[in-house]
Structure 1
């Protein structure tokens, strides 16, 4: 958890404390997952005859996927239907 400020820890309410503990547990799980992936990469690199970095991890493909400028088209049909349905709705009470 790496928090040594006891005033901060004592000032947390129950919900914040539980979220902090859950976050610390998720960080540990992520570390174990990263170690598992590293082990798989090591075993694969050790046992294959011709290993290239592209076989283990294709960084160019990941960069292209991350930097892709295209955004998916947004579908506004539900929004338009909701707008049409709200046209007849009056928020002010009748007198």
Structure 2
């Protein structure tokens, strides 16, 4: 019984970071591509916008990036942040360029 309990606790502890929000101010292009609805072009646009205009003040500021509108924001809002560290989700492989 203790082994089962220990296994469950470990699975929960290890799964936490996998589903952490991605910090749009510090995420690499590859990390941004792990977000649902963000492919290479949108990820590059986010990084370029951030370099040109500085950090995002709120997750909603992401709508200032060309190609990201209300529908994309509705999909992303729960998965992004502007503070803390990025932890890329593992549901989509990242592409290195």
**TM-score normalised to structure 1 length:** 0.28
Higher helix share: 1
**TM-score normalised to structure 2 length:** 0.28
Higher strand share: 2
Q: Which has the higher contact order (CA 8 A, sep 6+)?
A: 2
Please identify the structure whose Cα radius of gyration is greater: 1
